[in-house]
Structure 1
Amino acid sequence: MRILIWHVHGSWTTAFVQGPHTYVVPVTPGRGPDGLGRARTFDWPDSVVELPPERLRDAGIDLVVLQRPHEYDLVRRWLGRRPPMVYLEHNAPHGCSPGVPDTRHPVADLPGDVPLVHVTHFNRLMWDAGGAGTTVIEHGIVDPGPLWTGEVPHAAVVVNEPVRRGRTTGTDLLPTFAHAAPLDVFGMGTDGLAGHLGLPPGRCRSHELVQKDLHAAMARRRLYLHPVRWTSLGLSLLEAMHLGMPVVALATTEVTEAVPPGAGVVSNRIDVLTDTVRDFVADPLHARMVGEGARAAALARYGLTRFLDDWERLLKEVTR
């Protein structure tokens, strides 16, 4: 099967393209948002091919994975026809009006029958999809291996643009956590974060690493801290669990499903979370034991084979 998919979410797509198909990603001059082409910081197989929009009509596309509302019109313009489609929603609703519980999903207003695929059950619960058929295919992770050493007694945090995103990513909570343990914050737009938070650099260090270096750097830290208030389900949390890191996380969105007892501590009490951070820093053997539980849980629920099998069943159903 030849599947058209835009390069929108590099981490998720890295798992998806491990399947048995040919994956066609649009590429445009300048590699703008509608034509990023192949990833440059993720390891994608040769089955992912770049094509400019003007060549897509003759590319033999069998199915399209939409991820943004305007892609529906791009398909009609670039392909001149409407192959079978599914709409993949990565995010939880984040509207101000009429409010999250009443936020209507764009797929509800698309013509035709376009199935909506959510990555978490929380997202499915929160979006109003109208009469669109919906399903959930939970995340899958390309296993980086049990790399955790925990030799650096710091907490790792992975977040992009923490200053701009503010309370959404729990940036305002970082000074409190920084009193419990030094923080190493990885992600784009983290430069100058310590100064923005009024913290000395030794309590909050910023790192902008490409993906291939990120896992090794995370795994050297004692624990993974997930202070995010509102997101779908951060893939960095699942990657940290695969690495064998103990996790400390807010009990928001899908986190309580992803982190079972024995894999870390999940709570909305900041005092409980900061005490746990201190405990992991002070007791590396305990951190190792909990991290092993985190890895086992992540492999069982978010393993790549289950993910690809779930998608294969859906793709066959949509194209039959």
Structure 2
Amino acid sequence: MNILLWHVHGSWTTAFVQGPHSYLVPVTPDRGPDGLGRARTFDWPDAVREVAPDELRRTPVDLVVLQRPHEWELAERWLGRRLGRDVPVVYLEHNAPSGAVPETRHPCADRDDLTLVHVTHFNRLFWDSGTTRAEVIEHGIVDPGHLYTGHVPRAAVVVNDPVRRGRFTGTDLLPGLAEAAPLDVFGMRTDGLAAHLGLSADRLRARDLPQRELHAAMAQRRLYLHPVRWTSLGLSLLEAMHLGMPVVCLATTESVEAVPAGAGVLSTRPEELARAARHYLNEPEAAARDGATARQAALDRYGLKRFLDDWERLLTEVRS
């Protein structure tokens, strides 16, 4: 099957393209948001092929996966075909709603020409999708292996654009948490974070790190800290668990489902997260034990085989 999808979310796509199909990823000369092409920092198989927009009318496409509202018009214009009629379509929703959350209508609400897929049950619960068929296919992770050493007595945090995103990512909580455990913040656009928060380098170090180096760096830290208030489900949390890291996490959105007892500490109280961070910092054996529990839980629920099997079932149903 030839599946057309845009390169929007590198970590999610890395898992999706491990399936048994051919994956067509639009590329434009500027490699802008609608034409990023193949990932440069993730390892994608040869089954992922870049295709220019003017090639798509001559390219067989069996199914389209959309991830942003404007991609519907783009796909119809570039393919010269009607989505949902000439070619089956799935709309994948990565994000939790924002704004007036309990009343937020999904852009694909009340449609009969597509299937809406959420990456978490929390998302499906909070989006109002009306009569549109809505499914949940939980995340899957390409297992990086049990790399945890924890020999660096600091907490790893992974977040992109923490200054701009502020309270969404729990950036305002970092000064208090940094008093309990020194933080190493990895991600994109982290420049100036320590100065923004008024923290010294020994309490918070921020570094933009390529994906190929991220897992090894995370696994050296004693624990993983996830202070995010509002997101669907951070894939960095699931990756940390796969690495064998104990996790200290705000009990918000889907995190309460992802982190079982014994894998770390969940709480809506920042002071409880600080206490847990101190515990793991001072008790490396407990950190390693809980990290092993976290890894097994992540393999059981967010393993790649289950993820690909779920998608194969859905894709078969949508095309039938």
Q: Contact 1:195–1:201 at 8 Å: present in 2 too? A: no
Q: Which digits, 9 at most, give the CA deviation of each residue in 1:167-211, with x for residues without a partner?
A: 110000000000001000001111121111011111000111110
Q: Which digits, 9 at most, give the CA deviation of each residue in 1:264-289, with x for residues without a partner?
A: 00001122111110000001000000
What is the letter of the counterpart of residue 227 of structure 1? P
Pair 1:116 & 2:116 matched: yes
Residue number in structure 2 paired with 1:93: 97
Q: Which digits, 9 at most, give the CA deviation of each residue in 1:249-276, with x for residues without a partner?
A: 0000000100000100000112211111
Residue number in structure 2 paired with 1:19: 19
Q: Which digits, 9 at most, give the CA deviation of each residue in 1:121-158, with x for residues without a partner?
A: 00000001011000000000000000000000000000
What is the letter of the counterpart of residue 22 of structure 2? T
SS of aligned partner of 1:202 = coil
Pair 1:238 & 2:242 matched: no
1:72-151 to 2 correspondences below 5 Å: 72-82=72-82, 83-95=87-99, 99-108=100-109, 112-151=112-151
In the TM superposition, what is the alpha-carbon distance from 1:92 to its structure 2 partner? 0.1
Q: Contact 1:173–1:227 at 8 Å: present in 2 too? A: yes
Q: Contact 2:4–2:23 at 8 Å: present in 1 too? A: yes
Pair 1:50 & 2:54 matched: no
* Distance (Å, rounded) in 1 between the aligned partners of 2:98 and 2:226: 19
* Distance (Å, rounded) in 2 between the aligned partners of 1:208 and 1:69: 29
SS of aligned partner of 2:249 = strand
Q: Which digits, 9 at most, give the CA deviation of each residue in 1:200-247, with x for residues without a partner?
A: 111000111110100000000000000000000000000000000000
* Distance (Å, rounded) in 1 between the aligned partners of 2:165 and 2:297: 29
In the TM superposition, what is the alpha-carbon distance from 1:75 to its structure 2 partner? 1.3
Residue number in structure 1 paired with 2:178: 178
What is the letter of the counterpart of residue 173 of structure 1? L
Alignment: residue pair count: 316
What is the letter of the counterpart of residue 207 of structure 1? R
* Distance (Å, rounded) in 1 between the aligned partners of 2:102 and 2:271: 29
1:1-320 to 2 correspondences below 5 Å: 1-82=1-82, 83-95=87-99, 99-108=100-109, 112-320=112-320
In the TM superposition, what is the alpha-carbon distance from 1:108 to its structure 2 partner? 1.5
* Distance (Å, rounded) in 2 between the aligned partners of 1:269 and 1:206: 24
Return the TM-score normalized by structure 1: 0.98
What is the letter of the counterpart of residue 27 of structure 1? V
* Distance (Å, rounded) in 1 between the aligned partners of 2:298 and 2:94: 19
In the TM superposition, what is the alpha-carbon distance from 1:57 to its structure 2 partner? 1.1
Identical aligned residues as a percent = 72
* Distance (Å, rounded) in 2 between the aligned partners of 1:190 and 1:242: 24
* Distance (Å, rounded) in 1 between the aligned partners of 2:110 and 2:76: 16
* Distance (Å, rounded) in 2 between the aligned partners of 1:300 and 1:118: 20
Q: Where in structure 1 do 4 or more consecutive aligned residues deviate above 3 Å? A: none
In the TM superposition, what is the alpha-carbon distance from 1:59 to its structure 2 partner? 1.1
In the TM superposition, what is the alpha-carbon distance from 1:109 to its structure 2 partner? 5.8
Task: Please provide the CA RMSD for this pair.
Answer: 0.7
* Distance (Å, rounded) in 2 between the aligned partners of 1:206 and 1:271: 22
SS of aligned partner of 1:245 = coil
What is the letter of the counterpart of residue 219 of structure 1? A
